[in-house]
Copies of this chain bind each other. A is one copy, B any other.
Amino acid sequence: MESVTTPGPAAGEPTAATPPAVTPPAATPRAAASRPRRADASRNRAKLLEAADHVFAEHGLDAPLEEIARRAGTSIGTLYNHFPTRTALYDAVLPARVSRLDQIGARAMAEPDAWTAFASYLTGLFDVLAQDRALNETLARSDLLTESVAAACKEGLVQVEELVRRAKAAGTLRPDFERSDLTAFIPALSHAIREMPTSDAWRRCLGYFLDGLHVPGGPQAGRP
């Protein structure tokens, strides 16, 4: 019949229930992507989220889904019931991770000196990225940026931009520094951190980078 190429993953739900009346809330016919209606399902969902969070952080975002299911104590089928795609799992897990960076931002904001604030934000950021592989890959790999993850990142960038603005205003950050410089550098060092044996290496690297961005003098702009 229509079996042209493969079973056809996109095709899906021809049979369905053929709803007689309205069946209003069952928007998605198959694939229970909606929220569970039963207590045990909710529990499983929570266990899966916990497991995904843990496994992603430890083994990276390409970790086998089977491992997540195993850690959650459910079958792989249940995982797919709740999260039909890997991306759905990312969406459910990563934004919260990304939000952890807000703490770092907040702490940096409290710092009175604008340059110190900016520098300590980056140091704190990489301190976290060195330990949290999920977060590291989220910031380093642009390919997996789903909408909700990207939103969380953008949220974080707002803080950074404020820090950048302040430091520029104080005259201690080079005026030609751009936001895109940060979104280039962060993935770079993120990648590298993952394979570095000691934290000393990336700290020194970051140090040079910061020195390159720093204007030591301060407000007394043009030196004659």
Write the residues of chain A forming the contact surface with B, with a CB cutoff of 8 angstroms.
140-143, 177-178, 180-181, 184-185, 187-189, 191-192, 195-196, 201-202, 204-205, 207-213
Q: Which residues of B contact A191 (CB under 8 A)?
A: 140, 187-188, 191-192
Interface centre among A180, A184, A196, A213 (most CB of B within 10 A): A184
CB distance from A5 to the nearest CB of B (A): 21
Copies of this chain per assembly = 2
Choose among B140, B181, B195, B205 the residue that contacts A141 (Cβ–Cβ < 8 A). B195
Residues A205 and B184 in contact, CB atoms below 8 Å apart: yes
Give chain B nearest CB distance to A143 CB in angstroms.
8
Q: Tell me the smallest distance from the CB of A205 to a CB of chain B, in Å.
A: 5
Report B-chain residues with C-beta under 8 Å of the C-beta of A208: 177, 181, 185, 209, 212-213
A184 CB contact (under 8 Å) in B178, B187, B196: B196
- Residue pair A192, B187 in contact (C-beta under 8 Å): yes
Which residues of chain B have C-beta atoms less than 8 A from A204's C-beta?
178, 180-181, 184
- Which residue of the partner chain, among B187, B195, B212, B213, contacts A187 with CB atoms under 8 Å? B195
What are 14 A-B pairs at a CB distance below 8 A? A140-B191, A142-B195, A184-B205, A185-B205, A187-B191, A188-B188, A188-B191, A188-B192, A188-B205, A208-B213, A209-B212, A211-B211, A211-B212, A212-B213
- Chain B residue numbers with a CB within 8 Å of A188 are 188-189, 191-192, 202, 205
Assuming the A-B contacts A191-B191, A191-B192, A195-B141, are A181 and B205 also in contact, with contact meaning beta carbons closer than 8 angstroms in the complex?
A: yes
Residue from A178, A201, A213 whose CB has the most chain B CB atoms within 10 Å: A201
